[in-house]
């Protein structure tokens, strides 16, 4: 069986053109992108374009973030099947949870930038989450320390480029406890959430750091996971800021070595 890294990378032939020299034809490594279908009890619920690695983490994190399940043990079985069209992650859940899933009437068909594809009404965009406990912000120094380690630990992005990263970092030291990568920012966060759940990581001791912007969906997934802090390397949208404030999520944007933006009331 291929390793996660082998599954995530593909070798292609390229032709490089420039003014300085003759064209060069050589091999290049690019990030893999495939259609991944999440199938619950035999019924396809979501099809996302994603990197075909850490798929158990992805399925678990997506299921938790979408409130299809509430704990890892709610997934009774998981089988990953490759087809000519893509990959099916076949999940078995209880009849009670499956009935609740069908009642949501939500069938997604999204790409790597899609957060609400398939939602049938405006009412379905409003999710119900518990308000997070009020906590102090992650310190400037700790965020800076995490950022210093973040890029070098993004193995796939360093090899292929074009890959988003999502990491869970220590609140006290900035040490990266867990990191997942994917061609889609939502997918990378789902994979991280799934990995944290599988490994019983204490969520109160860390914060999420992502390479992308803070969209509503990124904020919502963090809240659903029960994590108090989200730090992003790019901007935040208006809905993301509002949703974070409503749920007491500490949101920091434009994080870099010398500057961080805190969204306050």
Give just the sign of the alpha carbon dihedral 208, 209, 214, 217.
Answer: negative
Angstrom CA distances, 39 to 60, 63, 190, stand at 12, 11, 16
Give the list of residues 6+ apart from residue 203 with CB closer than 8 angstroms, or none.
Answer: 196, 225, 226, 227, 228
> 151: number of CA atoms within 13 Å, CB side?
9
* Catalytic site residue from 78, 114, 117, 256: 114
114 is catalytic: yes
Tokens of 186: 């939502």
The H or E element that residue 28 is part of is: strand 24-31
In whole angstroms, give the CA distance from residue 205 to residue 187: 23
In whole angstroms, give the CA distance from residue 9 to residue 19: 29
Taking every pair of Cα atoms in the chain, the longest distance, rounded to a whole number of angstroms, is 65
In whole angstroms, give the CA distance from residue 65 to residue 13: 38
> 40: number of CA atoms within 13 Å, CB side?
24
Catalytic residues: 114
């Amino acid at each position: 069986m291929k390793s996660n890294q082998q599954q995530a990378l593909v070798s292609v032939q390229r032709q490089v053109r420039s003014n300085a020299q003759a064209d060069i034809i050589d091999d290049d490594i690019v990030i893999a992108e495939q259609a991944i279908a999440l199938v619950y009890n035999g019924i396809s619920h979501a099809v996302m374009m994603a990197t075909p690695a850490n798929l158990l983490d992805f399925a678990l994190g997506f299921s938790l973030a979408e409130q299809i399940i509430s704990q890892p043990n709610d997934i009774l079985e998981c089988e990953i099947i490759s087809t000519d069209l893509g990959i099916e992650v076949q999940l078995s859940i209880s009849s009670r949870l499956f009935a609740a899933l069908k009642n949501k009437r939500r069938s997604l068909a999204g790409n790597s930038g899609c957060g609400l594809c398939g939602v049938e009404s405006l009412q379905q965009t409003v999710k119900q989450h518990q308000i997070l406990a009020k906590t102090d912000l992650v310190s400037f120094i700790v965020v800076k320390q995490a950022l210093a380690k973040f890029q070098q630990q993004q193995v796939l992005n360093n090899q292929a480029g074009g890959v988003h990263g999502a990491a869970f970092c220590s609140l006290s030291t900035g040490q990266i406890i867990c990191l997942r990568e994917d061609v889609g920012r939502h997918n990378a966060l789902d994979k991280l959430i799934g990995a944290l759940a599988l490994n019983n990581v204490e969520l109160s001791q860390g914060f999420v750091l992502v390479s992308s912007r803070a969209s509503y969906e990124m904020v919502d997934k963090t809240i659903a996971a029960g994590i108090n802090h989200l730090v992003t390397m790019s901007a935040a949208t208006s809905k993301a800021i509002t949703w974070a404030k409503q749920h007491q999520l500490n949101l920091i944007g434009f994080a870099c070595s010398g500057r961080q933006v805190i969204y306050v009331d």
